[in-house]
Amino acid sequence: MDCYILLGLARGASPAEIKRAYRRLARRYHPDINPGDRESEAFFRQIVSAYETLIDPGRRREYDAGMIRSTDRATEPAFEFQGFDFSQNLGFRDAATVNELFAEVFTPPAGAWTRPEDGADLHANLTISFGDAMAGGERRVTVTRLERCTACRGGGQLKAPDAMCPHCTGTGSVRWTRHHMVFTKNCAPCAGTGRQQSRACPACAGEGVSVRSEAVPVQIPAGVADGARLRIPGKGHVGRRAGRPGDLHVAITVEPHPLFHREGDDLRVVVPVAIHEAALGAKIDVPTIDGPARLRMPPGTQSGQRLRLRDRGAPSPRDGTRGDLIVEVKLVLPRVIDERSKELLREFGRINAENVRKNLGV
Ligand SMILES: [Zn+2]
Ligand SMILES: [Zn+2]
């Protein structure tokens, strides 16, 4: 890169003109004005290097004699700034940022040579019965997902017969003129070779993906709870241009059961009990998710009391251990219609005369 062209100076420019040119360019391309813009930073380094070469009389003499180069090759950006072209009388606009100015140089055209993209996650809902939630098993969720294009196997490109690159007409580099500045850059589609190496896949327009409906198998762990979310890795949208696929997230809804209510991994069931069973104690049959089970009820069981059947609750989806079945006793009074029952209850009352409301102070 020629120091004079870079700074927009004539060969015989005076030190004052060199300083003025440097200040003018620094105001526009200083990294502090364009934070995070690596290209303008690299360009600014070239400007600094050119300025330092020309402002030092000794170095300038050496440079003019062709003994030194101004720019450090290692820090040069991927494009090369070719200098100012004042044949176009556009004038500098102070509002023009480096990003605007360089947009054509640094924004690659949409197409095959841009980088792969990660695929997006997909979300689906699945409603299952209470019994299926307890048993677990495989279900299928139908989703419409971006799949890898089969024609190009996701790469978006097909091998092309050897031919001239149409983007650079075989030269291997592309030229831009923006305002007064002229740039050249390696032609990206052919990587500077000037030959066409591949073409965009016509089936997917170079995106590497196609839309497909798919029934994805979902393994439901036994004991899955209502509101649980299952993640199926890699079953989201596939990434463009062979990028990493996203995940499928399945939100589980478990239908309520008429008898069992879930409390953590425990299940609760309300069981009606006759008055004599509660008073005298009894062995009663209670429903569980595995079928009827025998429960021993101690004498003097109160209405609303909770009894526990170990390991008869829901399986834990984490470790497979089971919660308990909580049996909530509900006392059911008989419909007393016959004289004999009434007589027995009166006698029962006489024998058990204790005031059951004594704690209420009445
Ligand atoms: Zn394709
Ligand atoms: Zn090319």
C-alpha–C-alpha distance, residues 156 and 294, integer Å: 66
For residue 197, report the distance from its CA to the centre of ligand 2, in Å: 9
Q: What pairing do the DSSP bridges indicate for beta strands 266-274 and 325-332? A: parallel
Those residues whose C-beta lies under 8 Å from the C-beta of residue 39, and which sit 6 or more positions away, are 77, 79, 98, 102, 105, 106
For residue 198, report the distance from its CA to the centre of ligand 1, in Å: 12
Q: What is the mean pLDDT of residues 238-244?
A: 82
pLDDT above 50 for 101: no
Q: What is the mean pLDDT of residues 45-66?
A: 85
For residue 186, report the distance from its CA to the centre of ligand 1, in Å: 26
CB within 5 A of ion ligand 2: which residues? Answer: 165, 167-168, 187, 190
For residue 171, report the distance from its CA to the centre of ligand 1, in Å: 28
> Listing from the earlier edge strand, what are the strands of the sheet with 229-232?
122-128, 248-254, 229-232
Ligand nearest to the CA of 206: 1
C-alpha–C-alpha distance, residues 158 and 153, integer Å: 9
For residue 206, report the distance from its CA to the centre of ligand 2, in Å: 17
| Domain over 122-153+206-254 is classified CATH 3.30.70.120 | no
C-alpha–C-alpha distance, residues 320 and 8, integer Å: 76
How many angstroms separate the most distant Cα atoms in the chain? Answer: 132
C-alpha–C-alpha distance, residues 255 and 125, integer Å: 13
DSSP secondary structure code for residue 155 in this structure: S
Percent of the chain with pLDDT over 90: 39
Going by pLDDT thresholds of 50, 70 and 90, the confidence category of residue 300 is very high
Ligand nearest to the CA of 173: 2
C-alpha–C-alpha distance, residues 33 and 97, integer Å: 9
For residue 212, report the distance from its CA to the centre of ligand 1, in Å: 14
Q: Are 254 and 226 in contact (CB under 8 A)?
A: yes
Out of 3.40.50.2020, 2.60.260.20, 3.40.50.300, 2.40.100.10, which CATH number does the structure's domain 261-351 have? Answer: 2.60.260.20
Q: What is the mean pLDDT of residues 110-138?
A: 84
Phi, psi of 238 (to 5 degrees): -75, 150
For residue 172, report the distance from its CA to the centre of ligand 1, in Å: 26
Boundaries of every domain in the chain: 3-77, 122-153+206-254, 261-351
Give, in order, the Cα–Cα distances in Å from 297 to each of 271, 281, 310: 11, 5, 14
Going by pLDDT thresholds of 50, 70 and 90, the confidence category of residue 83 is low
Query: Looking at per-residue confidence, does 105 or 347 come out higher?
Result: 347
pLDDT above 70 for 59: yes
Phi, psi of 343 (to 5 degrees): -60, -45
Fold of 3-77: Helix Hairpins (1.10.287)
C-alpha–C-alpha distance, residues 345 and 335, integer Å: 12
Are 3-77 and 261-351 equal in CATH topology? no
For residue 201, report the distance from its CA to the centre of ligand 2, in Å: 18
Q: Are 21 and 13 in contact (CB under 8 A)?
A: yes
**Which amino acid would we find at residue 209?**
V
For residue 233, report the distance from its CA to the centre of ligand 1, in Å: 23
Global pTM value: 0.55
Going by pLDDT thresholds of 50, 70 and 90, the confidence category of residue 91 is very low
For residue 114, report the distance from its CA to the centre of ligand 2, in Å: 15
Q: How many residues does the chain have?
A: 362
Ligand nearest to the CA of 198: 2
